[in-house]
């Protein structure tokens, strides 16, 4: 004992006091954590040196982890505890201990307050808090999308009172009692038709389609001779036939220009020339391939009731209607090389023994400005005629086109010769009546509001004509007006006076037209219009 240091002596003293305290603790029925029935005697006061020595002897220790409470177990002696039990505090015994909770759930139970009872007002408030932000976000997205969407393409619309124009008065065409016919003023449209439009033989009027296909395949400028075409043995042989129109005096190997061949085709109506040209065009030994081209061209022109079986029209199965042939007349008269040929009453061609004469000469010389186009006659077809005439009205000279088919005389009619005379007389009456009735009128005046620009979102900007729009027609004729752009898209914004379109009256490329301009500034749609658009 003499070797112990003061610190060791103090430590033994503390351990002895702790052992004495345990021995003096009264025995109870519970665990070591139960409160004793009588208070334990207060420890004796310690001197300053002892307190200091105790403080120096203590070392930091790790606190044991919390363990769930466990039931008390009987020890070896009532009130006695092992050394480990004395070091570990015990919790009160629970008869039905609750299962341990995860740390997060335990934290939630300690910090959360009980939720108040559910009421309709609380439910409404909760839903309001949930949905209002979502709705606001969706509304914001909608506004942004609407604002940046491409604008609709502006369009030009006619006003309700400028969709058409009707000439004052009435006019009746002097149609014949039988057959069928159609007439129009180029640029103004149809003046009317008569008879049932059913397919009938056309006779030599079919040669107009032959010329049309040739000029499409081998274009000529006005007064241009074109390529050289050689006469073959077949054309010479067919020129000697007595029962059809033909060009006589041909010799095999003779060469003629395309222009001269067209004159022989259209003026005296040479059937053998029609077949020769068909073979030359296709380079074949017959006309089958060329006839296929004729039917293709008819289909392209919208001649839906027309069928060609030969290039001359001699075959009675080559049939059409007056309305269909009028479509062909309008198309073929656009060729600069064609119009001068069909206007000739006769022609002298080098290489032929004598001049050729037009079967239409009495009409061409009738003083009615008739400039063609083609006659046709045979027993199957009777008399047929496609004609063109001019009439100057004001500052314009429109082309009057007409066709008349299935004209027949009562009594003898060898090869349809008498019916040919009849169809020319009936056509002459119609031509004279149209020329006399044709008039010009101002359909739209300068500065008149004719329509508007629709921006696609409800705004309309008025359009005005930049000049007088004059129409040509006959009394009682109704002409449609149409509004189109000026060749480029209508702008979203432009200043007043800017030309943005064209107003046209009538039909076809020859129809009269006038530019239209904005009456006031054209502005882009407002932000509100962009956001509220639905389409």
192: helix, strand or coil: strand
Tell me the pLDDT band of 47, cut-offs 50, 70 and 90. Answer: very low
Q: Is 258:227 a contact under the CB 8 Å cutoff?
A: yes
- What is the distance between the alpha carbons of residues 26 and 84, in angstroms, rounded to a whole number? 19
Q: Which of 68-72, 134-138, 235-239, 491-495 has the lowest mean pLDDT?
A: 68-72
Q: Is 359:346 a contact under the CB 8 Å cutoff?
A: no
Q: Could you identify the residue written with the tokens 């079967």?
A: 359
pLDDT at 457: 86
Tokens encoding 177: 């009692």
Question: Is the bond preceding residue 373 a cis peptide, omega within 30 degrees?
Answer: yes
Q: Which of 93-107, 293-307, 417-431, 516-530 has the lowest mean pLDDT?
A: 93-107
- What is the distance between the alpha carbons of residues 183 and 391, in angstroms, rounded to a whole number? 14
pLDDT at 57: 45
Model pLDDT for residues 476-515, shown as the tens digit of each residue: 999 999 999 988 899 999 999 999 999 999 998 899 999 9
Model pLDDT for residues 393-427, shown as the tens digit of each residue: 988 999 999 999 999 999 889 888 999 999 999 99
Question: Is the bond preceding residue 97 a cis peptide, omega within 30 degrees?
Answer: no
Query: Does the pLDDT value for residue 29 go beyond 80?
Result: no
Quickly count: other Cβ atoms within 10 Å of residue 5's Cβ.
Answer: 9
454 or 139, which is more confident?
454
Burial of residue 315 (CB within 10 Å: 0-12, 13-18, 19+) is middle
40: helix, strand or coil: coil
pLDDT at 99: 66
Q: What is the pTM of this model?
A: 0.72
pLDDT at 101: 67
Share of the chain above pLDDT 90, in %: 62
Q: Is 398:369 a contact under the CB 8 Å cutoff?
A: no
Query: Does the pLDDT value for residue 382 go beyond 90?
Result: yes
Alpha-carbon Rg for the chain in angstroms: 56
pLDDT at 140: 81
Share of the chain above pLDDT 70, in %: 78
Kindly report the average pLDDT of the chain as a whole number. 84
pLDDT at 153: 87
- What is the distance between the alpha carbons of residues 324 and 338, in angstroms, rounded to a whole number? 19
Query: Does the pLDDT value for residue 136 go beyond 50?
Result: yes
pLDDT at 55: 42
pLDDT at 361: 82
pLDDT at 20: 45
Tell me the pLDDT band of 34, cut-offs 50, 70 and 90. Answer: very low
Q: Which of 43-47, 290-294, 369-373, 459-463 has the lowest mean pLDDT?
A: 43-47
Query: Does the pLDDT value for residue 384 go beyond 90?
Result: yes
**Planar angle of CA 208, 214, 216, nearest 5 degrees:** 100
Tokens encoding 297: 């061209």
């Amino acid at each position: 004992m003499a070797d112990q240091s003061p610190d060791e002596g103090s430590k033994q003293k503390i351990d002895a006091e702790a052992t004495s305290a345990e021995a003096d603790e009264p025995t109870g029925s519970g665990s070591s954590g139960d409160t004793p029935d009588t208070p334990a005697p207060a420890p004796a006061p310690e001197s300053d040196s002892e307190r200091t020595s105790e403080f120096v002897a203590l070392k930091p220790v790790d606190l044991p982890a919390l363990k769930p409470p466990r039931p008390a177990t009987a020890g070896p002696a009532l009130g006695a505890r092992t050394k480990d039990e004395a070091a570990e505090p015990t919790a009160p015994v629970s008869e039905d201990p609750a299962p341990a909770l995860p740390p997060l759930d335990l934290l939630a139970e300690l910090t959360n307050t009980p939720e108040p009872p559910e009421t309709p007002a609380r439910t409404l408030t909760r839903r309001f808090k949930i949905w209002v932000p979502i709705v606001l976000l969706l509304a914001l997205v909608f506004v942004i999308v609407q604002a940046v969407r491409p604008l609709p393409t502006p369009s030009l619309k006619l006003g309700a009172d400028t969709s058409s124009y009707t000439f004052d008065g009435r006019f009746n065409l002097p149609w014949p009692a039988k057959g069928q016919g159609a007439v129009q003023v180029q640029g103004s449209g149809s003046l009317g038709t008569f008879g049932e439009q059913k397919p009938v033989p056309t006779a030599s009027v079919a040669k107009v389609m032959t010329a049309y296909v040739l000029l499409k395949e081998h274009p000529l400028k006005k007064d241009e001779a074109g390529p050289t075409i050689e006469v073959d043995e077949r054309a010479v042989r067919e020129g000697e036939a007595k029962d059809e129109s033909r060009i006589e005096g041909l010799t095999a190997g003779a060469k003629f220009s395309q222009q001269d061949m067209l004159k022989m085709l259209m003026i005296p109506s040479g059937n053998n020339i029609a077949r020769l040209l068909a073979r030359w065009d296709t380079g074949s030994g017959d006309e089958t391939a060329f006839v296929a081209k004729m039917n293709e061209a008819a289909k392209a022109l919208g001649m839906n009731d027309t069928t060609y079986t030969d290039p001359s029209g001699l075959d009675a199965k080559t049939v059409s209607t007056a309305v269909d042939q009028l479509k062909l007349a309008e198309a073929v008269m656009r060729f600069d090389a064609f119009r001068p040929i069909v206007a000739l009453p006769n022609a002298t061609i080098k290489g032929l023994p004598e001049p050729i004469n037009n079967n239409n000469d009495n009409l061409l010389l009738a003083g009615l400005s008739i400039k063609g186009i083609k006659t046709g006659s045979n027993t199957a077809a009777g008399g047929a005629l496609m004609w063109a005439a001019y009439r100057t009205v004001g500052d314009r000279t429109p082309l009057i086109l007409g066709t008349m088919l299935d004209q027949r005389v009562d009594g003898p009619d060898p090869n349809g010769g008498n019916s040919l005379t009849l169809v020319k007389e009936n056509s002459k009456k119609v031509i004279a009546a149209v020329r006399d009735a044709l008039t010009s009128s101002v359909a739209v005046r300068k500065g008149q509001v004719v329509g508007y620009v629709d921006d696609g979102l409800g705004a309309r900007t008025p359009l005005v004509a930049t000049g007088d729009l004059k129409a040509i027609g006959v009394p009682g004729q109704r002409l449609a007006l149409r509004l189109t752009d000026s060749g480029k898209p209508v702008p979203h914004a432009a200043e007043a006076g800017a030309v943005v379109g064209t107003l046209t009256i009538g039909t076809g490329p020859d129809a009269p037209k006038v530019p239209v301009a904005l009456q006031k500034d054209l502005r882009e749609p407002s932000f509100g219009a962009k956001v509220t658009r639905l389409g």
